[in-house]
């Protein structure tokens, strides 16, 4: 296929982005006008409560053949919004970009140049500087992401973003993955296609991050750790074996103390300490098992990833 006949799709997940979306679309259109490609921009409104969908409608009237939109009935999450946008995309090249302007649209030109020169399936934008935030939040966020990086054995997880340019075969492979609990940036890595990286400094936004520490922890546990590593399952095996050894040791120590006619209070103290330790370990095991049960239950229900309220094609 000749380059002039190629098409590029821009997928934009958006949730309450009325303050940023207009500027983003204008900047994306400017960038795409400089590329000799057919184009489409797909905005997925993830159940916004503000005027985000009305902004999409305005641009749809002005750029009827370029703008597409999907509005969800409620907030289903960014991962579902990305999936929906990719599912209806028709481009040979597909770019996923955030709506809050942290991802500079102008970088799409550089990503395209890398793809054009190397024909690599994925061009991935990675952060070189964290967005402005208070020291304590930045510290705990960085610490948590680094720990997660080691757990899932992806050293650059803390700087990964959803800002990627992908060939159609990559998107099709991602859409064919059957799981409901998703992490787009990790799933793309898991597919194993060749990747080229390009760095960027996240731009200052007009609002603070919607990712609280608790939501970050929840996402990391559900969508990352329990989906892309078997460490929790290995921890269950290790803890069970450890408790067995400790129980056996306590039994032998109790018999030994009995033969040495030690005071009963000594034996009781040892038993109480071991019982408390065992309770803590069993509590951790139950939490891990519960997480696996919750994930399995979510997958088994097989409910749709999203429900459309309106579509603009």
- State the DSSP H helix or E strand holding residue 143, giving kind and residue range, or none if neither: helix 135-152
CA distances from 169 to 38, 84, 172, 187, 215 (A): 18, 17, 5, 14, 32
Please give the radius of gyration of the chain, using alpha carbons only, rounded to the nearest integer. Answer: 25
Kindly tell me the burial class for residue 284, based on how many C-beta atoms sit within 10 Å of its own C-beta (0-12, 13-18, 19 or more).
middle
Helix (H, G, I), strand (E, B) or coil at 10: strand
pLDDT string in tens for the chain (313-residue length): 455 579 999 999 999 999 999 999 999 999 999 998 999 999 999 999 999 999 999 999 999 999 999 999 999 999 999 999 999 999 999 999 999 999 999 999 999 999 999 999 999 999 886 555 566 666 666 776 677 676 666 666 667 889 999 999 999 999 999 988 898 998 998 899 999 999 998 876 655 556 566 666 677 677 677 777 777 888 888 888 888 887 787 777 777 766 666 666 666 777 777 778 888 888 888 888 888 888 888 888 888 999 999 999 8
CA distances from 52 to 12, 70, 175 (A): 12, 11, 26
Per-residue pLDDT, 1:
45
Per-residue pLDDT, 62:
94
| Token couple for 243 | 């408790």
């Amino acid at each position: 296929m000749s380059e002039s006949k190629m098409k590029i799709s821009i997928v934009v997940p958006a949730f309450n982005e009325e303050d940023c979306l207009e500027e983003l679309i204008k900047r994306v259109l400017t960038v795409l006008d400089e590329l000799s490609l057919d184009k489409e921009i797909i905005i997925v409104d993830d159940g916004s409560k503000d005027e985000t969908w009305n902004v999409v409608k305005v641009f749809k009237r002005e750029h009827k053949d370029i703008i597409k939109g999907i509005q969800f009935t409620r907030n289903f999450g960014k991962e579902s919004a990305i999936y929906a946008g990719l599912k209806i995309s028709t481009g040979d090249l597909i770019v996923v970009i955030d709506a809050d302007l942290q991802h500079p649209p102008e970088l799409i030109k550089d990503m395209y140049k890398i793809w054009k020169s190397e024909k690599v399936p994925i061009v991935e934008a990675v952060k070189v500087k964290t967005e402005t935030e208070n020291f304590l939040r930045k510290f705990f966020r960085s610490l948590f992401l680094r720990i997660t990086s080691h757990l899932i054995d992806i050293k650059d997880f803390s700087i990964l973003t959803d800002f990627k340019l992908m060939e159609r075969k990559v998107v099709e492979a991602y859409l064919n993955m059957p799981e409901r609990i998703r992490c787009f940036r990790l799933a793309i890595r898991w597919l194993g296609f060749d990747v080229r990286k390009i760095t960027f400094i996240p731009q200052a936004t007009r609002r603070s991050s919607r990712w609280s520490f608790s939501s970050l922890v929840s996402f990391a546990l559900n969508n990352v750790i329990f989906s892309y590593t078997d460490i929790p399952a290995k921890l269950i095996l290790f803890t069970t074996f450890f408790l067995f050894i400790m129980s056996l040791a306590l039994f032998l120590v109790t018999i030994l103390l009995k033969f040495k006619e030690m005071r009963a209070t000594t034996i009781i103290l040892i038993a109480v300490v071991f019982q408390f330790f065992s309770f803590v370990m069993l509590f951790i095991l139950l939490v891990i098992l519960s997480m696996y049960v919750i994930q399995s239950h979510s997958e088994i229900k097989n409910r749709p990833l999203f429900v459309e309220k309106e579509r603009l094609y």
